[in-house]
Amino acid sequence: MPQVGIPFKALSFMSNASSPRMSACLPAIPLWKSTAILLLGGLAAFGFFGLQSINQAGESGVSMHPPLLVGAFHGTPQEVSESERVVLPSDTEFAKMLYTGLSGDQVNFQIVLAGAEKRSIHRPEVCLPAQGWTISGREIVPVKLRNGKTLDVMQLTLSRQIETRPGEFRTLNSVFLYWFVGASVATPHHWMRILLTSWDRVVHRRNHRWAYAIANAAALKGLAPGGRDLAETKQLLKEFVSEVAPEVVLEWKSPAPEAPR
């Protein structure tokens, strides 16, 4: 398929959050409150030192080697951008592929795997608007996988203006599916990822090494010959995720066949 005036590239996601520092003058504290504070402080210190052994990169739930073939799509590895390497922690791992179908459809697919530092992983909604995208739709979509399981993913409908020729601008629509993957768990919800992280660290002494998997494609109807409309692009991505998810989520990945003796 011919490319639009400005080639549609895989999206990159960066986060640079900062929190304001606050200070306040404390009033006199009653004795019972002081005792409670000391008790809580002791518990916090115990929790801090008790969890030091798991305060490191934990167990990953994904394969960082996406397959070259996904259904009728053939994948080509993509380079990690310099901005991604600079902004994200050095122990962050990436797997980026551009898949092209027999009819010329293209799907960008990538996995970002956090290291010991957790700021590699965040909601894509945080940074997409800063890249010029408008999020016009957001919903949880169930995807029936080829292995019979169902995976809930977050589906974002995006749009932005592109210059197709000098002085001429058109609206480019795109569909974006993502989900988070931990150790033996997958969820489309950021709040659930945070909850599981805290719960499993305290109760099960498990430190999830979270990743997110992303599949996105442009709806090119009216912009390129044979381009799909928005509904067709959503269906295309659901079918793609149905094939690729069992290959990259370790819990679902089929074991490699044994070599003949």
pLDDT, tens digit (0-9, with 9 covering 90-100), for 108-161:
999 999 987 766 787 889 889 988 999 999 999 999 999 999 999 999 999 999
User: What number of other Cβ atoms are within 10 A of residue 108's Cβ?
Assistant: 20
Q: Which two tokens stand for residue 226?
A: 């044979």
Q: Quick check: helix, strand or coil at residue 87?
A: helix
Tens digits of residue pLDDT in 197-210: 787 677 766 677 89
Does pLDDT of 10 surpass 70? no
In contact, 61 and 250? CB cutoff 8 Å = yes
Predicted structure pTM score: 0.75
